[in-house]
Every structure is written in structure tokens, then in C-alpha cells.
């Protein structure tokens, strides 16, 4: 069982542009349309037993998929924890659990619900950083797109230098995406 941050990023480390848009990513098509990447994503998602996302990510999914009008289009079959200090609309029929506060007790619930499968931290970067800060992040899987955004929502607004991340896998798809997998090294206690 791993807790993984699997996401797409620009070369300069942004998840979304300064307007919160992913148009820069969708110019390459939906993930299901990108040869090779869709297989990677399918293999990844088949091993996910629980997931977490922040409120901005949740709101983006609702809007992008028009889920308040078409709740049957909820794209996930596993329980989803949404971290938010605000009241957000629920998607009818989706197993969405709204939480706030410390990520550690919620992570314990997620691990139990995942029942031996992986926990996916969808985003955003600050939420994932909170899991990292508590020593609960095992792996970062980045689909790096060949664009730069110069500003926007940062990939992981944390300084991670000691110990550094360990590159454990690199894949290339066509002339578009590089998928980099990093193992998160935990600092040794003195």
C-alpha cells in the first residue's frame, strides 16, 4: 500500500495556469486518448482504494464534468475525502466525505477504507504538501507536459531537499509526455 501523488504538471512545475485552467493540458486530448499514457493511468487507477483532494480540485471536477446536473458521471468508484473549510455541494450517489483539519487521522481512515490498495492524493499541491509534512506521502508520479506556464497553481509548494526525492522510474510517450516516478525519502531521526 502506498500513498501517491499522481498528477500532470508543466515543465516549470504548475498544475493549473493563473486562471485555474487546464486548457494547456487538454490541448493534448483527454488522458484516454493519449497513446501509452492511458495504459499507465488505467494501471494506476486499478490499484487505488481511496482518494483525497482539496476543495479547488473538487470544484473543478464538478464543473468540468457538470456533476451537479449529471451526477452519474462522477468518475471515481472509490471513497473520496474532500478537504475544505467551506461548505461544498455533494454529488448525488458519489461516496464523497467532507473533512477538514489535520490530514493524519483522515489518512488513517483512508488507509482502512483502501483495504490494502493505494491512496491517491489527487491535489492540490498544498494538500499534498500537508501529507508530506506528516510523513504520509510515499510516491510522486508526474506526467510532465512540454509546456511552461510561468505562474499558476504550484505542483508542490514545499521545499524538499534533505533527503531529496529518489527517481525510481522514467517513461516517455510519443514526443509529448515524460512520466517521472519519485519515491519520497523520509528523514532519518537523530
Does residue 181 lie in a domain region?
no
Does residue 122 lie in a domain region?
no
Does residue 188 lie in a domain region?
no
Are the CB atoms for 53 and 83 separated by under 8 Å? yes
What is the number of structural domains in the chain? 1
Q: Comparing C-alpha atoms, which of 180, 178, 174, 176 is closest to residue 156?
A: 180
Q: Comparing C-alpha atoms, which of 118, 37, 31 is closest to residue 78?
A: 118
Does residue 145 lie in a domain region?
yes
Does residue 184 lie in a domain region?
no
Buried/exposed code over 60-76 (b: 16+ C-beta within 10 A; e: otherwise): bbbeeeebeeeeeebeb
| Total Cβ atoms within 10 A of residue 116 | 8
Does residue 35 lie in a domain region?
yes
Are the CB atoms for 107 and 3 separated by under 8 Å? yes
Instruction: Tell me the C-alpha distance between 21 and 17, whole Å.
Output: 5
pLDDT of 95 reads: 97
- CATH number (domain holding residue 160): 3.40.430.10
Structural domain that includes position 140: 3-117+130-174
pLDDT of 190 reads: 45
pLDDT in tens, the chain (190 residues): 999 999 999 999 999 999 999 999 989 876 666 666 777 888 899 999 999 999 999 999 999 899 999 999 999 999 999 999 999 999 999 999 999 999 999 999 999 999 999 999 999 999 999 999 999 999 999 999 999 999 999 999 998 988 999 999 999 987 888 999 999 998 765 4
Does residue 68 lie in a domain region?
yes
Angle at 66 between CA 75 and CA 101, to 5 degrees: 65
Does residue 51 lie in a domain region?
yes
Amino acid at each position: 500500500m502506498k500513498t501517491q501523488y499522481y498528477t500532470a504538471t508543466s515543465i516549470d512545475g504548475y498544475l493549473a495556469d493563473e486562471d485555474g485552467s487546464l486548457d494547456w493540458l487538454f490541448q493534448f486530448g483527454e488522458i484516454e486518448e493519449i497513446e501509452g499514457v492511458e495504459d499507465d493511468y488505467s494501471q494506476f487507477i486499478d490499484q487505488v482504494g481511496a482518494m483525497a483532494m482539496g476543495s479547488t480540485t473538487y470544484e473543478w471536477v464538478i464543473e468540468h464534468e457538470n456533476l451537479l446536473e449529471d451526477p452519474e458521471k462522477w468518475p471515481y468508484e472509490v471513497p473520496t475525502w474532500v478537504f475544505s473549510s467551506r461548505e461544498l455541494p455533494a454529488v448525488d450517489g458519489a461516496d464523497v466525505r467532507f473533512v477538514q483539519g489535520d490530514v493524519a487521522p483522515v489518512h488513517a481512515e483512508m488507509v482502512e477504507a483502501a483495504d490494502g490498495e493505494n491512496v491517491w492524493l489527487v491535489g492540490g499541491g498544498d494538500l499534498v504538501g500537508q501529507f508530506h509534512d506528516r510523513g504520509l506521502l510515499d510516491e510522486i508520479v508526474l506526467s510532465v507536459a512540454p509546456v511552461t506556464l510561468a505562474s499558476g497553481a504550484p505542483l508542490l509548494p514545499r521545499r524538499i531537499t534533505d533527503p531529496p526525492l529518489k527517481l525510481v522510474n522514467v517513461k516517455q510517450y510519443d514526443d509529448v509526455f515524460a512520466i517521472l516516478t519519485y519515491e519520497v525519502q523520509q528523514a532519518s531521526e537523530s
